[in-house]
Structure formats: structure tokens, C-alpha cells
């Protein structure tokens, strides 16, 4: 039985992971809300669910315990007083402008059976579902054509991002877009009220209240001493500093944080869309971020405050020193073929999920990169990906590791 949180690497044998199987929230995607809800197209739900089940089965076949976020949230909301506090907070975060509508939604949600209530929050509350009677505010009147009271949460299957387990603690994130912020609220309640999954004594490295933005796709646990964090479109330097000070000051064992500054654009939204660890000394990388890649090192000064400096070496040299290895190999997404690199990065070719040293789960569509991984001696377990990949995240993005064996 692997209980509590234990994440001291990217590659140690994975024992427990949290996923979310896509549901009706995907059907709330329409061209009008693509940009706001961070999608470019609409996955075919039934096929996406089959693909996701296949992903979960590959994990189970490899002795990984799979827990589902929806169940874990429900377990944390068993107490009516906790449920009441959670619903009130969720509705506040959903920008319900009219107190009248807010009250009706609150009553409605409180009366639903628990699992249905969680499912309803994820899929979004439609106006058809609950007629609230007379419009009694200008805001209600103006927005009456919009089909939802609360937006669906189609990005929830990327469980990597709302939080991250680091060492023996958890970082609950203040996400950078409104569309995803409520996902971390789920995690906040799991951490506070679901003791079986996250024991009460678990340290918290970052708080949902932020105020600065950070997302889990930017966090890579390179070793028990070194954390890498992307300074990206979604993660701010201020948040990295808060996380680094909390982590390094606590007796967590971590000694330094390497900050990777990557281009701020949608295709490279998080560090793990361009860089992942696949073995003790091997990494995937999207060639377009390699040069120039600015890396900073954060350690603590004598007053226990974060201190920083830039590192000017090449990436392989930096990694080699940080991990105390004789050499490291960078496996380029798409190899030397520029088109393949761009195409496969867009479909998360470098977003691998290591489930043991040298064993990764990848999307089957990224054939060039998969072959290069295979040639580098990595065992590649491919999962179908036509529909899952439409959300712009791969196997790493779709998983929140909770427990890995040491390696």
C-alpha cells in the first residue's frame, strides 16, 4: 500500500496517479468558446473516453493504482458543512453576478446526490437545467442568451496542471486563466478534507489563493535535490520564487530550483510540452526551445531568501551537473526533421509520462519521436490519441502522480 505523497523524481516507478476521465464537459465546447476555454477543436467524446480508458489500463497493467479526481473530490465533500463552503466558493469563482441566481444554484447543488453534484459542476450548469424565473439584474438580462450559469470544465482531464506533488508535499496552484481556476479548487478541498489520499500532515508548497500564477505542467522533479520550473505563458517568476522559498526552506531535501525560461506562446504553454525526463540520463526536447534557452538557478541565501543567478552553459551541461551524471542525452522531438518536430510537438510528442526509469507512455500519433525514443533504448508504451490530443496535452499532462518509488 503506497499511502501519502512521495514524488522525488520524474521517473521512479509510478505507484499511484490521479486522472480524470473526460465526460459531458467536453460537449460544452463550441467554436464561440474555444479560445476562452483553451481548446482549438472538439474531441469526439465517446472515442476520447475509449482512448482515456486505454491510457488508464496501460497504467493499471503496469501496477499503477489509478484514482479518479471526481471520486476523490466527492470523498472530500461528504460533510454537509464542507459541501456548503465548497459550493459557495465554487459559485463565487464562477462569476455568478446575480445574488438571486446564486441562491437558486446553491440550493439546487446542495440537494443533488454528491457524485451527481460534482459531475454537474464539471459539466457546467445549463440554463435549461434550472429555470430561475425572473431576470432581476441587468447582468442576467444581458447574458440571457449564454447557455450556462457556470461554465463547463473541459480541461479537467489535464490533471497535471491544477497542482503538483513535490517530494512529500503538494503545491495547489493559482492557475493563470479563469477557464481553469476552479480546477484547483477541487484539489484544495481534496488536500484539506480527503485524508486518505492526502494525509493531514502533508506540507503545502503553494496555495490556491496565489496570488501569482503557476501551473503543474511547468514543474518537473528532476531529482530529490533539484526541481525544474518553467517560466512560461502560464507560470510567473513571482510564483516560482514563492514556491522555491517554501520548498527550499522546509526540510524537503530539495537544494535548488532550475528555472527554464521558454517562449510565451500557446504551442509551448508549459515546460512539459517541450521537455520531459524519460530515464536517469535521457530527456525529450523540442529543438525550437533549445537555443537560446535561458536557465536560472535559485538557491537560498544566508537569510533564507531566494537568491538567483543565470547559467550560461548549454542545457546538456547544466543537466549533467545538476544531476551529477557523466553525460546526458537529449532526444529531439521529431528528430532533425523541422516539420515533424513542429507537427509532433503540437500533438505532444515531447510530453511523455515516465512510469519507470526508461519506460514511458506516449501518444501513438507521434511516430517519428516514438521511434527515436525506441532507438535510444526507451520502452515506449503507445496509447491511441486521435481525440485526446485535440485538447493540446499529452500523457504527462493527463496525469497527476501521487506516489513514485525512489530510484
Ligand X SMILES: NC(=O)NCCC[C@H](N)C(=O)O
Measured from the CB atom, is 83 or 234 closer to ligand X? 234
Closest distance to ligand X from the beta carbon of 118 (Å): 21
Measured from the CB atom, is 23 or 393 closer to ligand X? 393
Measured from the CB atom, is 273 or 347 closer to ligand X? 273
Which of the residues 36 through 65 are near ligand X (CB under 6 A)?
Answer: 38-39
From 27-35, 249-257, 295-303, 387-395, span contacting ligand X (CB under 6 A)? 387-395
Q: Is 399 a binder of ligand X (CB under 6 A)?
A: no
Which of the residues 266 through 285 are near ligand X (CB under 6 A)?
Answer: 269-270, 272-273
Measured from the CB atom, is 98 or 155 closer to ligand X? 155
From 100-108, 185-193, 316-324, 389-397, span contacting ligand X (CB under 6 A)? 389-397
Which of the residues 195 through 224 are near ligand X (CB under 6 A)?
Answer: 217
Cα separations (Å) of 107 from 104, 113, 261? 5, 12, 46
Closest by CA to 338, choosing from 288, 278, 402, 270, is 288
Taking CB under 6 A as the criterion, the residue among 13, 52, 390, 392 binding ligand X is 392
Which of the residues 12 through 41 are near ligand X (CB under 6 A)?
Answer: 38-39
Q: Is 372 a binder of ligand X (CB under 6 A)?
A: no
Taking CB under 6 A as the criterion, the residue among 160, 213, 332, 390 binding ligand X is 160
Read off φ and ψ for residue 155, nearest 5 degrees.
Answer: -90, 0
Closest distance to ligand X from the beta carbon of 112 (Å): 27
d(CA 256, CA 254): 6
The residue at minimum Cβ distance from ligand X is 217
Which segments within 124-246 are labelled E, that is strand? 125-126, 148-150, 163-166, 169-172, 204-206, 219-221, 226-231
Q: Is 169 a binder of ligand X (CB under 6 A)?
A: no
Closest distance to ligand X from the beta carbon of 382 (Å): 19
Q: Is 393 a binder of ligand X (CB under 6 A)?
A: yes
Closest distance to ligand X from the beta carbon of 270 (Å): 4
Closest distance to ligand X from the beta carbon of 59 (Å): 17
Cα separations (Å) of 174 from 204, 215, 290, 328, 396? 13, 7, 28, 33, 20
* Catalytic one of 165, 174, 333, 397: 397
Does residue 407 carry a catalytic annotation? no
Instruction: Render the burial of 94-133: b for 16+ CB within 10 Å, e for the rest.
Output: bebebeebbebbbebbeeeeeeebbbbbbbbbeeeebebe
Q: What is the DSSP letter of 217?
A: G
Instruction: Render the burial of 158-190: b for 16+ CB within 10 Å, e for the rest.
Output: bbbbbbbbbbbbbbbbbbbeebbbbbbbbbbbb
HSE at residue 210, side-chain half, CA atoms within 13 A, is: 18
Closest distance to ligand X from the beta carbon of 34 (Å): 10
Closest distance to ligand X from the beta carbon of 374 (Å): 23
Helix ranges (H only) for 132-282 are 138-142, 178-193, 237-249
Binding footprint of ligand X, residue count (CB under 6 A): 16
Measured from the CB atom, is 70 or 347 closer to ligand X? 347
Q: By rule CB under 6 A, what string of x and - marks binding of each residue 170-199 to ligand X?
A: ----------x-------------------
d(CA 367, CA 363): 9
Q: Is 350 a binder of ligand X (CB under 6 A)?
A: no
DSSP track, 353-384:
EEEETTEEEEETT-HHHHHHHHHTT-EEEEE-
d(CA 261, CA 222): 16
Taking CB under 6 A as the criterion, the residue among 219, 397, 400, 402 binding ligand X is 397
Taking CB under 6 A as the criterion, the residue among 10, 72, 161, 183 binding ligand X is 161
Cβ burial, residue 14 (10 Å; 0-12/13-18/19+): buried
Read off φ and ψ for residue 283, nearest 5 degrees.
Answer: -140, 150
| Residues carrying an active site annotation | 397
Residues near ligand X (CB under 6 A): 38-39, 155, 158, 160-161, 180, 217, 269-270, 272-273, 391-393, 397
Amino acid at each position: 500500500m503506497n499511502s501519502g505523497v512521495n514524488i522525488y523524481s520524474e521517473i521512479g516507478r509510478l505507484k499511484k496517479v490521479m486522472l480524470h476521465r473526460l465526460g459531458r464537459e467536453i460537449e460544452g465546447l463550441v467554436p464561440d468558446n474555444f479560445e476562452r476555454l483553451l481548446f482549438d477543436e472538439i474531441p469526439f467524446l465517446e472515442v476520447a473516453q475509449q482512448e482515456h480508458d486505454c491510457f488508464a489500463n496501460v497504467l493499471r497493467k503496469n501496477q499503477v493504482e489509478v484514482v479518479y479526481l471526481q471520486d476523490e473530490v466527492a470523498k472530500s465533500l461528504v460533510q454537509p458543512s464542507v459541501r456548503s463552503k465548497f459550493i459557495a466558493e465554487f459559485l463565487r469563482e464562477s462569476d455568478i453576478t446575480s445574488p438571486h441566481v446564486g441562491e437558486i444554484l446553491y440550493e439546487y447543488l446542495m440537494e443533488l446526490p454528491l457524485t451527481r453534484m460534482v459531475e454537474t459542476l464539471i459539466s457546467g450548469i445549463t440554463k435549461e437545467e434550472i429555470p430561475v424565473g425572473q431576470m432581476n439584474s441587468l447582468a442576467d438580462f444581458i447574458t440571457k442568451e449564454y447557455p450556462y450559469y457556470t461554465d463547463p470544465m473541459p480541461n479537467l482531464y489535464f490533471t497535471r496542471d491544477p497542482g503538483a506533488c513535490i517530494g512529500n508535499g503538494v503545491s495547489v496552484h493559482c492557475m493563470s486563466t479563469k477557464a481553469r481556476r476552479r480546477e484547483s479548487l477541487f484539489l484544495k478541498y481534496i488536500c484539506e478534507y480527503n485524508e486518505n489520499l492526502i494525509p493531514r500532515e502533508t506540507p503545502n508548497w503553494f496555495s490556491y489563493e496565489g496570488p501569482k500564477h503557476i501551473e503543474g505542467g511547468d514543474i518537473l522533479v528532476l531529482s530529490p535535490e533539484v526541481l525544474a520550473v518553467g517560466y512560461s505563458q502560464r507560470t510567473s517568476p513571482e510564483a516560482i520564487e514563492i514556491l522555491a522559498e517554501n520548498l527550499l526552506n522546509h526540510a524537503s531535501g530539495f537544494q535548488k530550483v532550475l528555472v527554464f525560461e521558454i517562449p510565451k506562446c500557446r504551442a509551448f504553454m508549459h515546460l512539459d510540452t517541450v521537455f520531459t525526463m524519460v530515464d536517469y540520463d535521457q530527456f525529450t526536447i523540442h529543438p525550437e526551445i533549445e537555443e537560446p534557452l535561458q536557465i536560472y538557478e535559485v538557491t537560498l541565501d544566508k537569510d533564507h531568501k531566494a537568491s538567483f543567478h543565470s547559467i550560461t552553459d548549454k542545457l546538456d551541461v547544466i543537466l549533467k551537473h545538476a544531476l551529477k551524471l557523466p553525460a546526458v542525452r537529449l532526444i529531439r522531438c521529431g528528430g532533425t526533421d523541422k516539420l515533424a518536430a513542429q507537427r509532433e510537438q503540437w500533438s505532444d510528442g515531447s510530453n511523455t509520462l515516465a512510469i519507470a526509469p526508461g519506460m514511458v507512455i506516449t501518444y501513438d500519433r507521434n511516430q517519428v519521436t516514438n521511434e527515436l525514443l525506441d532507438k535510444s533504448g526507451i520502452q515506449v508504451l503507445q496509447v491511441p490519441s486521435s481525440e485526446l490530443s485535440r485538447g493540446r496535452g499529452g500523457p504527462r499532462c493527463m496525469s497527476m502522480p501521487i506516489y513514485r518509488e525512489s530510484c
